[in-house]
Amino acid sequence: NRTLNMIGLIPIINRLPFPSKQRIDKSKQDVRIVIQRIIDDRKKNLTTSSCKGPDLLDLILAARGDDKISKLTDEEIYEEALTFVLAGHETTSNLMIWTLYNLANNPDVCQRLEVEVDSVLNDNEEITASTLSLLTYTEAVLKESLRLHQPVPTIVRQAVEDNMLIA
């Protein structure tokens, strides 16, 4: 549980009966059960990917096997799946927070966005990929939020002086 076990970096905390730690442990176990169920269902072909080709879980499962050197163990498959779930959650929540912030500070953009959504989606209508593709202004708003506030920090390198490469 390398991803969910940051609290374990302080060894004494693991031995203390804090109510909040007990809730964290319960949540960790709940997440493990859900992710393991998804993995097990996919292994048994009870579920399939909605993608045209293989999705991330398919690729991870293809990397499992009996070869101890190059293949992933069941625990490693779980850890990789957990990483993707948590990474997807954090980046999505950051995108939504910054988009809401930007919309609150730009009421004209918010109004135009609302008009587009109301014109494309009907009440109680199921949202599909085809209806989402019609929300071009919404896509532009989300991309602008990503441009302004990257959910994942990046480091851009820049040369301090020009160099000439000789081929």
Across the range 160-167, mean pLDDT stands at 82
Q: Where are the domains of the chain?
A: 1-88, 106-152
For residues 36 and 40, give the distance between their C-alpha atoms in angstroms, rounded to a whole number. 6
Q: What is the mean pLDDT of the chain?
A: 82
Cβ-based neighbour number of residue 102 at 10 Å: 17
- Give yes or no for a contact between 102 and 146, defined as CB atoms under 8 angstroms apart: no
Residue 46 has what pLDDT? 67
> Which one has a higher pLDDT value, 104 or 166?
104
Cβ partners under 8 Å of residue 44, min gap 6: none
25: its two tokens = 């442990």
pLDDT cut 70: percent of the chain above it: 86
For residues 133 and 139, give the distance between their C-alpha atoms in angstroms, rounded to a whole number. 9
**Residue 21: what residue type?**
K
Angle 81-85-91 from CA coordinates, rounded to 5°: 140
Quickly state the pLDDT bin for 21 (edges 50, 70, 90): confident
> Which one has a higher pLDDT value, 30 or 62?
30
Quickly state the pLDDT bin for 63 (edges 50, 70, 90): confident
pLDDT digit string, tens, across residues 121-153: 887 788 888 888 999 999 999 999 999 998 777
- Give yes or no for a contact between 13 and 21, defined as CB atoms under 8 angstroms apart: yes
Across the range 22-49, mean pLDDT stands at 84
SS3 for 64? strand
- Give yes or no for a contact between 141 and 112, defined as CB atoms under 8 angstroms apart: no
> Which one has a higher pLDDT value, 14 or 139?
139
